[in-house]
Structure 1
Amino acid sequence: MADSGLSDTERHKCLFCRIAHNQEPSSRLLYEKDGIVIFKDIRPAAAHHYLVVPQEHIKDPKHLGPKDIDLVNKLVAVGEEFLTQGGGDIADSRLGFHWPPFNSISHLHLHVISPASSMGFMASLIFRPNSLWFVTADWLLNRLKNMKRI
């Protein structure tokens, strides 16, 4: 996996590290297993809008390499299963990552949004697939696989 390179003090400064390790009283984990947590987005774009987050600090998707393909696949699988179990519709969903510098939190997190068809105009822009600021999980996986060939 990507190396965080963070000290304990720096990790404590990361909001998502604190949430992922149950150190943020204002947040509630909906799922926690095998180094992955899920919690609700504070500004949901649809009825189901979750963040799937590794407990290990990884700055953002640009810091991933070919060795992280399994991690991305795991984030997607856990997110899709959680969404389905919660009544969300995979066929009408959007899964992806904000691409730096257009991320507000510097801790890797997968957005799982459903129904995507219910998103308003601004949310549709913010979570527009494969734009300069938001990439799908499939796009990221293809990028990581292509890095392997180089």
Structure 2
Amino acid sequence: MHDCLFCRIARGEIPAARVYEDELVLAFKDIQPQRPVHVLVIPRKHITSLAHVGPDDEAVLGRMLAVAGQIAVDQGSTDGFRSIINTGRVGGQEVMHVHMHVVGGPDPVGPMLKR
């Protein structure tokens, strides 16, 4: 998807506050942070959502999870963090490119879902 916002960020066409990158993934600060630490981790390859993942995507999804902890610590969330992947309309996905929110900070994140 040539016009995908996150694909354009990955290609360097749109600036972002990059905090980590390698050949498979890119991580950058969310422009509307909900916590003191709020980073998005995306695959460089366009994958619309977790509902569109195939066997060839296992390595990139594994890398996203593998780097999350170090990204959180490097950004100042040294006592834990939450990783969130929203999927589709019902899941609250706003940009149709798989992305993981890494959120944290000095205080607890709070309940996962409203009760």
Sort the TM-score into its range (normalised by shorter chain): 0.7 to 0.9
Distance 1:66 1:50 in 2: 26
Asked if 1:117 is matched to 2:105, the reply is no
* Partner SS for 2:59: helix
Could you say which structure has the higher helix fraction? 1
Partner of 1:58: 47
**TM-score with structure 1 setting the length:** 0.65
Code of the aligned partner of 1:18: R
Larger Rg: 1
| Residue pair 1:22, 1:29 contacting (<8 A) in 2 also | no
Partner of 2:6: 16
Structure 1 position 61, deviation (Å): 1.0
> Cα RMSD over matched residues?
2.2
Asked if 1:48 is matched to 2:48, the reply is no
Give the % identical residues: 30
* Partner SS for 2:60: helix
Q: 1:84 to 1:95 in 2, by over 3 A?
A: same
Q: 1:117 to 1:65 in 2, by over 3 A?
A: same
| Residue pair 1:80, 1:90 contacting (<8 A) in 2 also | no
- Structure 1: segments with no counterpart, 5+ residues: 1-9, 132-150
Distance 2:73 2:28 in 1: 15
Q: 1:99 aligns with which of 82, 87, 91?
A: 87
Aligned residues: 111
Structure 1 position 29, deviation (Å): 1.9
